Chain A
């Protein structure tokens, strides 16, 4: 897969990472190197092989449907800038997002 500048700029926008135009060429090169390295795996024939999801024999652990967590609003908003306390609860606040 060959990357171009426009694709890298779009990936940066989607990831909310600011990349200066001047840095884009360098970034294209770096990402291209990473992708090419991973693409070596394409050389392996995996036809008929189940995708491996874990290196150990484990299945997805499950929880019972019981309320066992939450109820600590102070800790949830502890690091938030300008939380607004309402009754027993508190809101996070962010700059207005308007549709």
Chain B
């Protein structure tokens, strides 16, 4: 996206920091539970509440999850990394510091490929990924003069994933988040649920004149909790900065908050000193040293990731790049499609049915694909009936609606309702004759050269046969009888 200002054209420079909650049973440095939604402070150990003398012991699985994520992003894995203390005061940070990684993160440089809606792809740099603890949660709306603090989230493992300032538009930022979320979900290292806060995003935004190589002063927009809001916040912030500069002002490097109700960002003054975190190595923790063979083992066991799956779908199922991108965006969706398309003469038929009919039903009923009323095997059964000419595509839509309603399988519905396609030439000829006899005027017109009327005739014959006639045969017989 470019912004046409009064003094010229401006380019956006965006970098994203994503905090992704590691999927694990216990916390990063304690044995307390991580399940979302428990009653306040019931999942807190003395370590998480920073009682004096308590020591952190790292959860091996959280390290494994971070390394897997790094491998999934094609990133360097640092066999030696260090935990540091990031110091700041806040009511929901009981220790007065967060254990994080600063100078030596567990994962270094990697890449992520964006699939844009126009079918183009673009590679974005990942700067680093490090492990850190989450803070507790402050509730400001429970009491007129008090803030309530719940430490259930305190100490839960987070992966902070930092991108290079390679993004140039809100759309690219949105595509980045969707792709990152997909990769995390394929790997099973984060559930990617932005509403529950298991994936949160900070956006660094600056603007510069088009063609300039220098970076402008950036603002950081904190804790935006949906892809749509991230895109809105970036767009607002970029326009704010352009207006400010063009009116003779300068952008102050600062932290801002996005107000989703008003659609604006505003300065967060209370964190004035917050950028002086006085990091130093945590004396309670030794360096994290990984075994090269262990890392290689994790790499060998990685599941097929969206980019590879997408390529395979394009190659094996002859899908368009766009269709393939849509289908692989969610792991369960891709698996569903593959189960329906497997071994089919026309896999594109499977893609069309999944992406139009099935997605429409799921959208309407607000279900995810795992809870689809029509399972993959059932949809495959329906498509079999289309492919072997038992029913027409039109009838198939009715059968599908019935399958959604009743949960019965396609063959049973077709049998029960007598929906088998009529391929008996005599029966179709009779239906055609009836339509021709009843519409002499239209026959005149078509013979006079208005050939596009053939569609209308086909429609009438289909109607006359309750949609059961084979459309190909209807077409053929009509043409023969009308002499066109």
**Residues of A near any B CB (own CB < 8 A):** 10, 13-14, 16, 53-54, 58-71, 73, 75-77, 82, 84, 86-99
If A14-B278, A76-B49 are given as contacts, then 19 extra A-B residue pairs at C-beta distance below 8 Å, sorted by A number, are A58-B286, A62-B58, A63-B26, A63-B31, A63-B59, A64-B59, A68-B31, A69-B47, A71-B33, A73-B42, A76-B151, A88-B42, A89-B41, A91-B139, A92-B41, A93-B146, A93-B147, A95-B147, A99-B268
By a CB distance below 8 angstroms, the chain B residues around A99 are 140, 257, 268, 270
Query: Is B63 part of the contact surface with A, judged by Cβ < 8 Å?
Result: yes
Cβ of B40 and Cβ of A86 under 8 Å apart? yes
B474 → chain A closest CB, angstroms:
63
CB pair A54 B43 closer than 8 Å: no
Partner of B285, one of A60, A88, A89, A98: A60
**B6 part of interface (Cβ distance < 8 Å):** no
- Chain A's nearest CB lies how many Å from the CB of B104? 10
Contact assessment for B44 and A62 in the assembled complex, using a CB-CB cutoff below 8 Å:
no
List of B residues within 8 angstroms of A82 by Cβ: 146
Nearest neighbor of A62 in chain B, beta-carbon distance: B60
Question: 1/0 per residue B5-46: CB within 8 Å of A?
Answer: 000000000000000000011100011110000111111111
Point out the residues of chain B lying under 8 angstroms from A58, CB to CB.
286
Chain B residues, Cβ within 8 Å of A89: 38-42, 150
- With A and B bound together, what is the CA distance between A98 and B271 in angstroms? 12
**A59–B286 touching, CB < 8 Å:** yes
Given contacts A67-B31, A94-B147, contact A62 B57 (CB under 8 A): yes
Across the interface, do A60 and B289 meet the contact criterion of CB distance under 8 Å?
yes
Contact across chains for A59 and B289 when beta carbons are under 8 A apart? yes
Q: How far is the CB of B182 from chain A (nearest CB, A)?
A: 24
| Interface contact A69-B31, CB-CB below 8 Å | yes
List residues of chain B with CB within 8 A of the CB of A60: 58, 285-289
Contact of B33 among A70, A73, A77, A96 (CB under 8 A): A70
The answer to whether residues A53 and B44 also contact, given A14-B276, A65-B62, A97-B140 and a CB cut-off of 8 A, is no
Closest chain A CB from B280 CB (angstroms): 13
B406 within 8 A of A: no
B91 touching A94, Cβ below 8 Å: yes
B278: chain A residues within 8 A (beta carbon): 14
Interchain CA distance A84-B39 in the complex, whole Å:
12
Q: Which residues of B contact A90 (CB under 8 A)?
A: 40-41
Closest to B62 in A: A65
Supply 9 A–B pairs (Cβ within 8 Å), ascending by A. A53-B287, A60-B287, A64-B60, A66-B25, A66-B31, A86-B39, A86-B40, A92-B150, A97-B90
The answer to whether A70 and B146 touch across the interface, beta carbons within 8 angstroms, is no
Most buried by A among B40, B58, B143, B273: B40
Instruction: Say how far A60's CB is from chain B's closest CB, in angstroms.
Output: 4
Residues of chain B within 8 A of A13, CB atoms compared: 273
A73/B41 in contact, CB under 8 A: yes
Contact between B42 and A71, CB atoms less than 8 A apart: yes
Q: Are B44 and A70 in contact (CB-based, < 8 A)? A: yes
Q: Which residue of A lies closest to B285 (CB)?
A: A60
- Mask, B131-154, CB within 8 Å of A = 1, is 000000011101111111111000
Q: A62-B57, A70-B43 are in contact. Are A53 and B286 (CB under 8 A)?
A: yes
A97 touches B59 (CB 8 A): no
B336 at the interface (CB under 8 A from A): no
What's the least CB distance linking B154 to chain A, in Å?
10
Which 4 A-B pairs rank lowest in CB-CB distance, beginning with the nearest? A89-B39, A70-B32, A68-B31, A65-B61
Determine the distance from Cα of A76 to Cα of B89 in the docked complex, in whole angstroms: 20
Bound CA–CA A68/B46 (angstroms): 12
Instruction: Kindly report which residue of chain B lies nearest to residue A13, judged by CB atoms.
Output: B273
